[in-house]
Structure 1
Amino acid sequence: MIKGFIFDLDGVITDTAELHYEAWKKLSDEMGWHFDRELNEKLRGISRMDSIKVIMDHNRVSLTDDAVVALSTKKNDIYVASLDTMTPNDYLPGAKELLTHLRQEGFLVALGSASKNAAKVLQQLNATHFFDVIGDGNSVAKSKPAPDIFLYASEKLKLQPNNCVVFEDAEKGIDAAIAGGFHSVGIGPAERVGHAEVRFDSMKEATFFEVKSFFSEFF
């Protein structure tokens, strides 16, 4: 039986992708590195430290560990400052409605995000009350595609993975859900999340009715 829902944050609940892109772009420009939207797509769903390594590999740059940490911290400072511009109007269409519906139906709900700033984002959205558990980049050591963040969330919910549905917009996120034994809902194009059990183009289409209909044998 499905008793819990676990949501990624960026690209599922809200879209901070543009803020991340602008922060990485600003840092890369300062460093004289190439960074564009095509390279930015490769950062979807992965941690900040993994992201800067992707950018460095692309630019064939090698730095000391301390320098990498300093630069990732600088990027984070740029990004966190931009979060102050977010408001409760910045939910992706359909996301708030789904969270509200799940609360009304009595399901357990967790966040499973690689972001270390998830709590701040939820606060800006006034969304914290929707979640029983917040799993973020501070909760586990291994980021997606390792299933650790989702396993952390399900453990805190006191549910088995097969009792939970994961909502993800990233290929690595769906990989993580599958690896952990979770049910999976992909949000986005087939070439990115088509290997999820069910896929929707956007959160607006991923209503509780549609999701429950697909997984009807588990409710």
Structure 2
Amino acid sequence: MVDTQQLDQRIAPFRAFLFDLDGVVTPTVTLHMQAWRETFNQYFAGRELEPFGDEEYYELLDGRPRFDGVAAVLASRGIELAAGTPEDDDFFSIWGIGNRKNRVFADLLAGDGIAPYPGTIRLLDALAMLDVQIGLVSSSRNAEAVLAAAGVRDRFTVVVDGLIAAADGLPGKPNPDTYVAAAERLGAAPNESVVFEDAESGVAAGRSGGFGLVVGVDRGAGADALLAAGADLVVADLDELVR
């Protein structure tokens, strides 16, 4: 094992490191928030409903599978819609609203691009010098496109995203299944692995999955909320874990 003195000693003993994508590796939260805002406010227009607020993103959407999030936002306004089908692209089903949001997000990503957080790159650089495994776990079905746009796909040996979760029948966060699957693919047990998460649902997944350390990254959810969800420690940026 290479010397780990450059790492915070709270994370140095572990074998595998599992990163969430949005809000941990890339600041795609801003693009997601904008895409959700545009989509929901178009749907709410003319229905005498409160416009979508950014605080709802953290409460109802952040870290959740897309269609679970749609259902949660609609339920908060007393709206029930049929699930629909994956081919829907209208406002008459949960799938339709989710697909419309995804189209808006893809347009924003193509137009604006994305860059990774410098602090996360600093931690990834330090981990790359060690005999450890690195994976990424995301509820997003756009994870591969985001990683490619940010130029960091080669940093992760394993990626378990929303598409893989759907194909393998893995429930999304706050269930721990996607994180457990990523650890298994890296050849590590959960108690040998660290989870890095900015969402309460993701932190809860790490805690319920029995992971050795759950690091909350406070990009807006709030340190108190992340600690309450089960984080062992909270940082504002991952470069705090590199000496």
How much has 1:55 moved relative to structure 2?
A: 1.3
2:77 pairs with 1:77: no
Q: Normalization by structure 2: what TM-score?
A: 0.81
How much has 1:22 moved relative to structure 2?
A: 1.1
Residue 47 of structure 1 is matched in structure 2 by 65
1:136-187: CA deviations, max 9, x gaps? Answer: 1122231111001101101100111111111011111111111111121111
Q: How far, CA to CA, are the matches of 1:118 and 1:97 in structure 2? A: 21
2:236 pairs with 1:201: yes
Residue 225 of structure 2 is aligned with which of 192, 212, 216? 192
Q: How far, CA to CA, are the matches of 2:31 and 2:131 in structure 1? A: 33
Q: Normalization by structure 1: what TM-score?
A: 0.89
1:110-149: CA deviations, max 9, x gaps? Answer: 0011111111110011101110100111222311110011
2:53 pairs with 1:36: yes
Query: Does the 8 A contact of 2:120 with 2:237 survive in 1?
Result: no
Residue 97 of structure 1 is aligned with which of 122, 139, 142? 122
2:191 pairs with 1:158: no
Unaligned runs of 5+ in 2: 1-12, 85-92
How much has 1:93 moved relative to structure 2?
A: 3.1
Query: Does the 8 A contact of 2:24 with 2:196 survive in 1?
Result: yes
Return 123-132 or 195-204, whichever deviates more.
195-204
How much has 1:80 moved relative to structure 2?
A: 1.4
Secondary structure at the aligned position of 2:52 is classed as coil
2:32 pairs with 1:20: yes
Residue 106 of structure 1 is matched in structure 2 by 131
Runs of 4+ in 1 over 4 A off after TM superposition: none
Query: Does the 8 A contact of 2:74 with 2:80 survive in 1?
Result: yes
Secondary structure at the aligned position of 2:113 is classed as coil
% same residue = 32
Query: Does the 8 A contact of 1:146 with 1:179 survive in 2?
Result: yes
Residue 145 of structure 1 is matched in structure 2 by 174
**Matched length:** 206
Query: Does the 8 A contact of 1:139 with 1:152 survive in 2?
Result: no
| AA in 2 matched with 1:184 | V
